[in-house]
């Protein structure tokens, strides 16, 4: 428990300046300590995630603790190579100097996480921040209290507080208290676009660089030539994982009219196959995080024709997976990010018509396309600017730590995961080293009459 926050943050800055975090040996040791803590606390992690979101251990492994361990292992494997200076060519003007880029730690960084993957979204960025040699303040979400408490205890038991600390509590109070009185060297925020805007403004006041991992409406297009059974499998498993509370879940489906009925019937079957005819009792199916989100989601159910599911129970924060046929594109279910188990489906006749719908919410966090045609794949990828894309898949790009993860425009700025995290939490410092044995007079005044020479060297 930290009482004197300004004093504590000043201690972190001093700890960073003393250089403890810089060596490869130190960074590796801290990553190994984090790995050990996550492995030791495995059961406690499952218990907390079940309490907050009713996640099963299997789902947790894929999307939370196993996901994190995979990122840790990848980083441990490559960290030494990432830390090496990158040698660069030197231009004629600067010869015989040598040039390199060094990855320099930023300093004291702030990582702010949301409630939907309350472990993974807090600790995956932490891996990159440790790897890059920083001190870190972690802010878990108050809306996943069991996991937030566990995160705090893991951090307190694993790291000295002047190196890494965890500050829980109400974001609207705690975060301004930190950001207004202290200049962080970087902020990585994951959460809603509305709060992202607040964070961006606070950071701008002090010219603090930010990475914003925000939300949005990720469209999922199913073309007439798609493999419908496979599309239904992959859309259903991701959309209803974590009860739809996933930033990169397919937000809505645009299906070619010729295959709409086939797709609807396939998704219905998959929902029953994956979550049974009574998903409320299913081991595989989660709950809505709180009453506020439950009520927001339940309102969507009346904004279209329910084709499947949609039963709900407030006491248990349960909303059954729901397939909703939507015709009113002005309805909130089509203008707001859904972030829950409601899946609108809209039939389209032409690419232009589908594009008109997608462009109402530009720059989504992800774009999903199901098609058998590489020509269509190229056309759609060229048409839809998005943070990421999957062809014949949905959401799994996030689990490949070789790919950058991030949005664009309203869905965010910057990227992380794997080497991209290391780069996000490092400054790429350009270094030019010049020998003293060669010091030609042409580089010094008087310059008069040397224009022809400069024109020869600088071109």
Name the residues that contact ligand NAD, by CB under 6 A: 112-116, 121, 139, 141-143, 171-172, 175, 190-192, 195, 198, 213-215, 247, 337, 339, 365, 407, 412
Residue 232 or 288 having the CB closest to ligand NAD: 288
Minimum CB–partner distance for residue 448 and ligand NAD (Å): 58
Residue 106 or 167 having the CB closest to ligand NAD: 167
- Does residue 165 have an active-site annotation? no
- Candidates 247, 320, 322, 390; catalytic one: 247
Residue 12 or 212 having the CB closest to ligand NAD: 212
CB-closest chain residue to ligand NAD:
171
Report yes or no: 187 and 179 within 8 Å, Cβ to Cβ.
yes
Nearest to 18 by CA among 162, 127, 158: 162
Report yes or no: 196 and 214 within 8 Å, Cβ to Cβ.
yes
Minimum CB–partner distance for residue 122 and ligand NAD (Å): 9
Residue 119 or 263 having the CB closest to ligand NAD: 119
What does the longest C-alpha to C-alpha distance in the chain come to?
A: 87
Residue 397 has, within 13 A of its CA and on its CB side, a CA count of: 25
Q: How far apart are CA 72 and CA 452, in angstroms?
A: 55
Report yes or no: 162 and 9 within 8 Å, Cβ to Cβ.
no
Number of Cβ within a 10 Å radius of residue 402: 9
Residue 376 or 408 having the CB closest to ligand NAD: 408
**Between vectors from CA 23 to CA 22 and to CA 24, what angle results, nearest 5°?**
125
- 367 contact partners, CB below 8 Å, separation of at least 6: 218, 219, 221, 358, 380, 381, 384, 386, 388, 389, 390
Identify the three-state secondary structure at position 71.
helix
Minimum CB–partner distance for residue 9 and ligand NAD (Å): 17
Q: How far apart are CA 448 and CA 459, in angstroms?
A: 19
- Does residue 284 have an active-site annotation? no
Nearest to 289 by CA among 116, 118, 168: 116
Minimum CB–partner distance for residue 260 and ligand NAD (Å): 27
Residue 71 or 337 having the CB closest to ligand NAD: 337
How far is C-alpha 212 from the geometric centre of its chain's CA atoms?
Answer: 8
Minimum CB–partner distance for residue 66 and ligand NAD (Å): 17
Number of Cβ within a 10 Å radius of residue 184: 25
Minimum CB–partner distance for residue 204 and ligand NAD (Å): 14
Q: How far apart are CA 341 and CA 312, in angstroms?
A: 11
Residue 300 or 339 having the CB closest to ligand NAD: 339
Q: How far apart are CA 393 and CA 374, in angstroms?
A: 14
Beta strand spans in 155-251 (E): 164-166, 186-190, 210-213, 219-222
Minimum CB–partner distance for residue 340 and ligand NAD (Å): 10
- Candidates 71, 213, 223, 337; catalytic one: 213
Q: Would you name the residues annotated as active-site residues?
A: 213, 247
């Amino acid at each position: 428990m930290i009482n004197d926050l300004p004093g504590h943050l000043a201690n972190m800055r001093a700890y960073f300046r003393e250089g403890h975090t810089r060596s490869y040996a130190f960074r590796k040791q801290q990553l190994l300590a984090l790995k050990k803590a996550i492995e030791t606390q495995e059961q406690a992690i499952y218990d907390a995630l079940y309490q907050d979101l009713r996640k099963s251990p299997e789902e947790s492994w894929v999307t939370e603790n196993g996901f994190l361990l995979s990122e840790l292992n990848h980083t441990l494997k490559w960290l030494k190579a990432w830390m090496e200076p990158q040698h660069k060519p030197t231009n004629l003007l600067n010869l015989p100097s040598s040039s390199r880029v060094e990855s320099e730690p930023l300093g004291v960084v702030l990582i702010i996480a949301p409630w939907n993957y309350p472990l993974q979204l807090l600790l995956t960025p932490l891996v990159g921040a440790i790897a890059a040699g920083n001190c870190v303040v972690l802010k878990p979400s108050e809306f996943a209290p069991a996991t937030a408490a566990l995160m705090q205890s893991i951090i307190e038991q694993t790291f000295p507080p002047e190196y890494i600390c965890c500050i829980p509590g109400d974001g609207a109070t705690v975060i301004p208290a930190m950001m207004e009185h202290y200049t962080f060297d970087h902020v990585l925020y994951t959460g809603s676009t509305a709060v992202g805007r607040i964070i961006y403004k606070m950071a701008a006041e002090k010219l603090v660089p930010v990475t914003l991992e925000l939300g949005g409406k990720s469209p999922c297009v199913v073309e007439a030539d798609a493999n419908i059974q496979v599309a239904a499998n992959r859309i259903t498993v991701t959309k209803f994982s974590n009860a739809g509370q996933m930033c990169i879940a397919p937000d809505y489906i645009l299906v070619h009219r010729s295959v709409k009925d086939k797709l609807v019937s396939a998704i219905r079957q998959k929902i029953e196959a994956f979550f049974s005819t009574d998903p409320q009792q299913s081991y595989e199916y989660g709950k809505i995080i709180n009453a506020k989100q439950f009520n927001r989601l339940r309102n969507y159910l009346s904004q279209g024709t329910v084709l499947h599911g949609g039963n709900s129970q407030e006491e248990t924060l349960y909303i059954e997976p729901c397939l909703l046929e939507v015709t009113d594109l002005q309805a909130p279910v089509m203008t707001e990010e859904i972030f829950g188990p409601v899946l609108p489906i809209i039939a389209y006749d032409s690419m232009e018509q589908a594009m008109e719908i997608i462009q109402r919410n530009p720059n989504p966090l992800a774009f999903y396309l199901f098609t058998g045609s590489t020509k269509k794949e190229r056309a759609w990828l060229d048409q839809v600017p998005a943070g990421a894309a999957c062809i014949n898949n949905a959401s799994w790009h996030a689990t490949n730590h070789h790919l950058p993860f991030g949005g664009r425009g309203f869905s965010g700025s910057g990227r992380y995961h794997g080497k991209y995290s290391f780069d996000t939490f490092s400054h790429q410092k350009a270094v030019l080293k010049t020998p003293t044995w060669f010091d030609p007079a042409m580089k010094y005044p008087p310059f008069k009459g040397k224009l022809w020479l400069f024109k020869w060297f600088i071109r």
